[in-house]
Homo-oligomer: A and B are copies of this chain.
Amino acid sequence: MKYEAITIKDIAKALELSTSTVSRALRDSHEISFETKERVIAYAKEMNYRPNPIALSLKEKRSSSIGVLVSEIANSFFSQAINGIESVAQEHGYNVIIAQSKEDYQREVSALNYLASRSVDGILISVSAGTSDFSNINELYLRGMPLVSFDRVVDHLKMHKVKVDNYKGGYEATKHLIKNGYKNIACIASSAYLSITEERVAGYKDALKSSGMAIDETMIDYCLHSGLIYEEVEAVMARMMKQKNKPDAILACSDKITTNVMRYCQIKKIKIPTKIGLLGFSNLDLTDLLTPSLSVVRQPASEMGRIAAELLIKTIESKRALTTFEEVILPTELFQRASSAKKPKVK
């Protein structure tokens, strides 16, 4: 019943040829007679021959696969990015091997180690939030492993970088809220340790400044776990809604913060956007459907994945040693509901 996969050797034996002849015939070498070629190809097809990619990898010293390391696959941003990565990879004949760090440094190190041990030709990395020791990644660079970091990039590391313009995203989102009449705009951001957080908050601050509005530090807060835990967001919201200078709008700086602010408002029966405005960074499918006027800052996740993968494959295939590193910065998209947005009640 279960039959072993057929090899070149089997074909050679069956056709009374040498393995090299078979190999060449299958690769359509010009030095094989038309007749032999036909016989070999016909038989190979009949027996459903497939070359063993592992043997090929060993010979060619390349695996035709790339590794992707993210913190959490079931995060819509990353799954969209992987979507783009997989598409590009498949166009170029590469497989995609995925690993997730779950924001855990140990898991990140071991996943990286495995991928590194020559089972992939290159690696796409979005570092986990807690990581501050990048010696492993540097080690990979020294080994000559082609690397591209995306989204969460680390400035001082020697590798290609693909990310969005977080500063501009934060700036424009805040401007959008101001334009819509909001006066007291709070900012709830992710872990203060991530550079993307810094950049978004800087954009927020500069937008306020450029509109002549004051920056109130009580209106800025951080969620260590990027809002992953509802209570984190709840605590921040509760504090802000209690204070003298109450926000009339929120800039939510991550997917989870956005949805958890919505959840908070729903539970507390705070109407969005009339009672409080909300503008979130989110890649979830539905955010634009959610409330009549919620706008969303989207990251071009799939596009980012595509670009990062292209860059990686280009690097792999031009095997020169790297001295310069590209940094691609994509624009965020301010996605606005087409239908008429209800204006907030301006005080």
A interface residues with partner B (beta carbon < 8 Å)? 1-3, 5, 48, 50-55, 57-58, 63, 65, 72-76, 78-80, 82-83, 86-87, 90, 95-100, 107, 111, 113-114, 116-119, 139, 142-144, 259, 262-263, 266-267, 284-287, 289-290, 302, 321, 339
**CB neighbours of A98 from chain B (8 A):** 82, 86, 96-98
A119 to chain B: which residues have CB within 8 Å? 53-54, 95
What residues of chain B lie closer than 8 Å to A107, measured between beta carbons?
Answer: 90
* Best-surrounded residue of A57, A72, A139, A339 (most CB of chain B within 10 A): A57
Roughly how many angstroms separate A166 CA and B262 CA in the complex, as a whole number? Answer: 30
Contacts of A65 in B (CB 8 A): 97
Given A97-B65, A98-B86: A321 and B286 interface contact (C-beta under 8 Å): no
Bound-complex Cα distance A86 to B73 (A): 9
Which B residues touch A73, using CB under 8 A?
79, 82-83, 86
Of the candidates B51, B99, B144, B263, the one whose C-beta lies within 8 Å of that of A289 is B263
| CB–CB A100/B86 < 8 A | yes
Q: Decide: B302 and A74 in contact? CB cutoff 8 A.
A: yes
Could you list some 14 contacts between A and B, CB below 8 A?
A: A1-B142, A2-B144, A48-B139, A52-B58, A73-B83, A74-B79, A74-B80, A74-B83, A79-B82, A95-B97, A95-B114, A95-B119, A97-B97, A98-B98
Report copies per complex: 2
Once bound together, how far apart are the Cα atoms of A101 and B295, in whole Å?
32
A317 shortest CB reach to chain B, Å: 15
Tell me the complex Cα distance, A83–B75, Å.
9
Choice from B79, B97, B290 contacting A286 with Cβ under 8 Å:
B290
Q: With a CB–CB cut-off of 8 A, which chain B residues contact A263?
A: 289
Could you tell me the distance in whole angstroms from the C-beta of A254 to the nearest C-beta in chain B? 12
Of all chain B residues, which has the CB nearest A265?
B289
| CB–CB B290/A289 < 8 A | yes
A79 to B52, CA, bound (A): 29
Name, among A2, A111, A262, the residue most crowded by chain B CB atoms within 10 Å (CB to CB).
A2
Measured CA separation A75–B285 after assembly (Å): 9
Q: List, in ascending order, chain B residues with CB within 8 A of A83's CB.
A: 72-74, 100
Q: Which 3 A-B pairs have the closest CB atoms?
A: A2-B144, A79-B79, A50-B117
Contact present for A142 and B2 (CB under 8 Å): yes
| Contacts A90-B99, A142-B3; A339 near B266 (Cβ below 8 A) | yes
CA–CA, A65 and B97, complex, Å: 9
Q: Which residues of B contact A86 (CB under 8 A)?
A: 73, 98-100
Contact B117 A52 (CB under 8 A): yes
CA distance A57 to B65 in the complex (A): 15
Query: Measured between C-beta atoms, what is the minimum distance from A268 to chain B in Å?
Result: 11
